[in-house]
């Protein structure tokens, strides 16, 4: 992950080795997570990913963010110098609250994924009255 | 504000390799490739063509209107300001890893570029700038006459 390989080489290597290796090469996107009212907002940087190539799954409490980057080497150009590398993004979170799946909002703009995860009504704290015997 | 004048293409900076290695190590240990802490932001990639050069850089979360590109002779400058993160009294922050603030980076190009023939695109958080070498700056082939 830390080796300095030109972006093109990285792709060739991953393409030849199937899905498993491709995942191993994935980057961890930087995220901002904050909570407001009853909603958790997650913003993840995935530059270079087209909106259709973003994949968000929520299974039980495991939230997986995935972004696939298409090779964007300009045609007829060769790499001259490389300070950053290009690759897919994967990040997995475990959510502590039950989420209302029907009300999840996801938006992708300028390479940033914004997810709004509202807490479901059942998990909001309920007061339990204790009866005296 | 981060200011960088080191060029990724010049050989005059003896510490470039060391710094790059340090960045690589930092990235390895942090697991992320966040570059906000490094001295050079944003990192840029260069691609060379016949008589043109392409620069790409990742600026997620910015809009076209937040980026200012200027070119003078062989110096290309990228300036930008990230929008302020949402702030409110009732917000509870859990993680804050994304880059923010203002940056300025100047990059030395390998040749003078024609300022009228620069094409800049911003798509999915990636800025791509294609620059052409001006006609009068191209190396000219000189015919050798035989007697």
Q: What is the ipTM of this complex?
A: 0.70
pLDDT at residue A11, rounded to an integer = 39
B100 burial type by CB count under 10 A (0-12 exposed, 13-18 middle, 19+ buried): middle
Alpha carbon dihedral B22, B26, B32, B33, in 10-degree steps, equals -20
The reply to whether residue A76 touches residue B99, judged by beta carbons under 8 angstroms, is no
Of residues B46, B47, B126, nearest to A48 (C-beta): B126
- Which chain B positions have a beta carbon within 8 Å of A35's beta carbon? 91-92, 94
pLDDT-based confidence at A8, cuts 50/70/90?
very low
Pairing of strands B2-4, B102-108: parallel
The chain-wide mean pLDDT, for chain A, equals 78
pLDDT single digits (tens) B31-47? 444 444 456 789 999 99
φ/ψ of residue B28, rounded to 5: -60, -45
pLDDT single digits (tens) A67-100? 998 876 777 888 888 888 888 999 999 887 778 8
Q: What is the pTM of this model?
A: 0.71
pLDDT at residue A132, rounded to an integer = 85
φ/ψ of residue B120, rounded to 5: -120, 130
pLDDT at residue B128, rounded to an integer = 92
pLDDT single digits (tens) A38-71? 889 999 999 999 999 999 998 888 899 999 988 7
Q: Which residues contact A92 (CB under 8 A, 6 or more apart)?
A: A62, A63, A64, A65
The reply to whether residue B125 touches residue A48, judged by beta carbons under 8 angstroms, is yes
pLDDT-based confidence at B5, cuts 50/70/90?
low
Alpha carbon dihedral B25, B28, B34, B35, in 10-degree steps, equals 20
Identify the DSSP state of B29: H
Of residues B33, B42, B97, nearest to A31 (C-beta): B97
pLDDT-based confidence at B19, cuts 50/70/90?
confident
- To the nearest whole Å, the CA of A79 is away from the closest chain B CA by 4
């Amino acid at each position: 992950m830390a080796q300095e390989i030109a972006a093109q080489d990285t792709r060739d290597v991953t393409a030849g080795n199937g899905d498993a290796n491709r995942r191993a090469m994935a980057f961890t996107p930087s995220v901002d997570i904050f909570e407001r009212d009853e909603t958790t907002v997650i913003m993840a940087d995935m530059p270079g990913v087209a909106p259709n190539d973003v994949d968000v799954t929520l299974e039980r409490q495991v939230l997986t963010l995935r972004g696939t980057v298409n090779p964007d080497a300009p045609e007829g150009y060769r790499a001259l110098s490389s300070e950053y590398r290009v690759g897919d993004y994967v990040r997995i979170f475990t959510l502590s609250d039950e989420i209302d799946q029907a009300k999840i909002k996801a938006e992708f703009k300028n390479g940033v994924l914004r997810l709004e995860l509202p807490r479901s009504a059942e998990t909001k704290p309920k007061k339990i009255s204790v009866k005296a015997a | 504000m981060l200011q960088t004048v080191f060029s990724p293409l010049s050989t005059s900076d003896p510490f470039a390799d060391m710094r790059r290695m340090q960045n690589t190590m930092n990235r390895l240990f942090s697991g992320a490739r966040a570059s906000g802490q490094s001295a050079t932001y944003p990192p840029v990639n260069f691609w060379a063509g016949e008589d043109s050069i392409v620069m790409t850089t990742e600026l997620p979360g910015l809009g076209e209107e937040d980026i200012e590109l200027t070119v003078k002779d062989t110096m290309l400058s990228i300036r930008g300001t990230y929008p302020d993160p949402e702030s409110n009294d009732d917000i509870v922050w859990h993680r804050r890893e994304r880059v923010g603030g203002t940056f300025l980076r100047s990059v030395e190009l390998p040749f003078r570029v024609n300022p009228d023939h620069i094409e800049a695109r911003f798509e999915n958080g990636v800025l791509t700038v294609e620059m052409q070498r001006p006609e009068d700056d191209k190396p000219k082939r000189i015919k050798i006459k035989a007697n």
